[in-house]
Structure 1
């Protein structure tokens, strides 16, 4: 038999990921029996079983696992090529949804204005994304690209422009003993519980925003967990813990019951423009270029 048709590939990939015939069918908007039919055709083309099904479970055979590992990136590349071709055929028109955490800084607003001047046929939509879930909206297709706090280590995301290198400050209550200090060092964090992020954010990202050890390997006490920046600031004001913030964010959220004390000895914070590897479009590339042209970038990502 010849090469498989695209629908057979899609059925196999859906079944390999769902390991359930009904859910695979619902995902592709076809019947469970159609999934079975497409799978049988695919197995006939290959010449061997790809899926084992019992009354209790569905699982891939070793050959099925090998085929899935090879097919998924190839299918993603095909979809990206088709999306790029469609976008190119339409130009940079349509809608670009830009996610952001916290506040949209001047660099990003300048880039949006430049992008809109260059591509008036494209509408931009600015979407706030949860502080506790920086990458989820991208992975759920709720935004096309996003400006997030680094680091980014997700395999399915591309890190584009890196910008807004900023020193960090420690947000403390006006009643905290650190409030009278002109500055602090990273080792001082061992004497102050740090408020950290709960939720879907990866562990490495949460640790970057609220480390558990000082550079000198002293333990930093764990403070309360929060889902939003506003929750964190409220707990800071109540003297329940402290928070690490970059200077622009500290200035934007300045309030009378919180002091932002400059901190030395920690790496600066950075923002990065990220997007899904499998959903890169001409619009996303054009916005990344506008961000670079707006003068917001630095010399490469931090390591």
Structure 2
């Protein structure tokens, strides 16, 4: 029978395709990961990975095994987590990440309401860059994250939108679009649009500009004249800069914010925190 550590090692390596990162994620040695995979391949009777000095790739058999194992393994983990949660109730701790100052401020109110309802659960807040959120959720460094919606990842759940805000455009101060009546998406067709390194593509036909790791870095690129940046209306309040002008982006859909969490870790604490968030924005002065 296949052992738990063999399944974990195989599925993590199938995702990372790197022995060193897999070992780091599992908190074991690289040699142990290699031994485990070789043992599993002997049991299967064929190679699951093609290895060279430069790359690791799944074989067709390995890819099929990963596709078959992953949902079953997630179901096992979810069942175990449900049993743990049933025993613990709402005690323990929650690690909640957030993207940007505005999300952090909203989380303060959500956390206060949640603590009134679950005083035995410790909530720890941690700011994340957009590029870090999915990794933190998958690695267990965060149980939930408050950030922009939607997130198109099959293993992550997006809760209901908590906040909707108008979209604006950050442009260099004195730019031709720095005008009272604002801009439209048509105005962007000949301008480089700065993007964050979070996997979010600039929608066609807009020309992509340079990439940035954080909102501050992106705004610095805007101020230096390297492009423009679509943002939420809160950015004008939380990131005022003398080299940046924020103009309305009249025909763009609103930006939505909400909680995101891994499907396999939809615990009682996560559900209770999500309910507190929804209650807070529905009635700013709810009673527990």
Q: Is the 8 A contact 1:107 1:296 kept in 2?
A: no
What is the total number of aligned residue pairs between the two structures?
Answer: 271
Q: Secondary structure at the match of 1:132?
A: helix
Q: Is the 8 A contact 1:171 1:261 kept in 2?
A: yes
Q: Is the 8 A contact 1:12 1:39 kept in 2?
A: no
Deviation at 1:144, TM superposition (A): 0.9
Q: Deviations over 1:177-210 (max 9, x none)?
A: 211332222111124322212x3x22xx233xxx
Q: Gaps spanning 5+ residues in structure 1: where?
A: 214-219, 298-303
**Structure 2 length normalisation: TM-score?**
0.79
Deviation at 1:33, TM superposition (A): 6.0
For residues 284-299 of structure 1, what are the structure 2 equivalents within 5 Å?
284-295=270-281
In 1, distance between residues paired with 2:78 and 2:23?
A: 23
In 1, distance between residues paired with 2:230 and 2:260?
A: 22
Superposed CA RMSD in Å reads 3.3
Q: Secondary structure at the match of 1:256?
A: coil
Q: Deviations over 1:98-148 (max 9, x none)?
A: 111112445433211111111111111111111334322212221111012
Q: Deviations over 1:242-261 (max 9, x none)?
A: 11111112222123332211
Matched residue, 2:94: 96
Q: Secondary structure at the match of 2:170?
A: strand
Deviates more, 1:233-242 or 1:91-100: 233-242
Return closer, same or farther for 1:119/1:77 CA change in 2, 3 Å cut-off.
same
Residue from 18, 28, 38 that aligns with 2:13:
18
Matched residue, 1:300: none
Matched residue, 1:178: 177
Deviation at 1:78, TM superposition (A): 1.1
Return closer, same or farther for 1:274/1:235 CA change in 2, 3 Å cut-off.
same
Residue from 83, 99, 109 that aligns with 2:81:
83
Deviation at 1:39, TM superposition (A): 6.8
In 1, distance between residues paired with 2:256 and 2:123?
A: 23
